[in-house]
Amino acid sequence: MIEERYITLIHREVDGLNSAEESSDLRSYLSHDAGASDYYRDILKLSNMLGAVPLVEPPLNLKKRILNSIAVHLPSRRQNLVSAMAAQFVQSLRIHKSYAFVFASGLAIGIIGFSLLDGGSPPNQRESISHISGTMTRPGPFPALMFYDQGDLGAADVRGQVTLRGSRDLLLVELQVKGGRDVDVALDFAQDDVGFSSFSQQNPEPDNLRMEPNSVRVGNAGENQYTLIFSRKSHNVVPVKVSFYRFSKLLSDRVFSAAAVSE
């Protein structure tokens, strides 16, 4: 019967985790216990055997198959955002049912009116592309994101950490909020500097995002983690103010900055 402590030491030895003293202790034990010595030899052989199994190359078409499945099953993330906004819009229409009818009627009248003014679109008329010439420029390689700024803000019972990263064309704000759920978070920025592009959160609830040209607001934002992506319009320093509110009362705010980038 091998002592429990030496079974552990045997496995740790095989994994290369024993200290010099532990290895020496084990060697001394193995020299006096034939059963333990056999056990060690077997575990070592087993480990070598497993380690000798090579990784198998996946089939050549696997990558294509994976990417196709993504294209089929999921719309692009931009489309996700559009559908999320559409869903939010439909939700608001549900709330204001009376406006929904007025809107739908107006939309129908507008479409009919426009098509009449335009003379209607000719059915199945194809545009000739024979006169179009030229080359398309390939999009350049996407630069790795640079770290810009990071810091904490908060009050007694709510803490937040903000990290700004980005590239020449992109600004990424990672926001982690710890504390009461009743905290609202606002990000304020100049609309000439950045434009809001996409949003994701670790916990799906709450779904309470409000977007304006120069701000993004998340209601009941506590105990969650967010990633907000903006398209960058300005190459100068871009300040983003992050504020925490509770019942519209400001708890804390701080300005974070993304460094200027070359033109």
Where on the chain is the footprint of other proteins (CB under 8 A)? Answer: 7-8, 11, 15, 39, 42-43, 45-47, 49-59, 62-63, 65-67, 69-70, 73-74, 76-78, 142, 144-145, 165, 170, 172, 174, 197-198, 200-202, 225, 227, 229
Q: Which two tokens stand for residue 159?
A: 């803490």
Nearer to other proteins, 155 or 229 (CB): 229
Residue corresponding to tokens 């056990």: 39
Nearer to other proteins, 63 or 235 (CB): 63
**Closer Cβ to other proteins, 78 or 235, answer by number:** 78
- Token pair 């969650």 is found at 224
Q: In the beta sheet, which residues pair with residue 201?
A: 226
The nearest distance, CB 7 to other proteins, in angstroms, is 7
**CB of residue 154 vs other proteins: minimum separation in angstroms?**
18
CB 114 within 8 A of CB 121: no
Q: Compute the least distance from the CB of residue 28 to other proteins, in Å.
A: 21
User: What does the block give as tokens for 147?
Assistant: 């770290």
**Shortest distance, position 166 Cβ to other proteins, whole Å:** 9
Q: How far apart are CA 204 and CA 171, in angstroms?
A: 23
Q: Least distance from C-beta 22 to other proteins, angstroms?
A: 15
* Least Cβ distance, residue 183 to other proteins (angstroms): 20
Nearer to other proteins (CB atom), residue 112 or residue 259: 259
Instruction: Report the alpha-carbon distance of residue 45 to residue 257 in Å, rounded.
Output: 57
Q: Which is nearer to other proteins, 93 or 176 (CB)?
A: 176
Round to whole Å and give the CA distance between 237 and 219: 28
Separation CA 216–CA 189 (nearest Å): 9
Q: Which is nearer to other proteins, 77 or 210 (CB)?
A: 77
* Contact predicate 186/215, CB 8 Å: yes
- Residue whose token pair is 């983690």: 225
Shortest approach of other proteins to residue 40 CB, angstroms? 11
Could you tell me the CA-to-CA distances from 224 to 86, 178, 256 in Å, in that order?
24, 7, 20
Extended beta strands in 30-169, E state: 146-155, 158-166
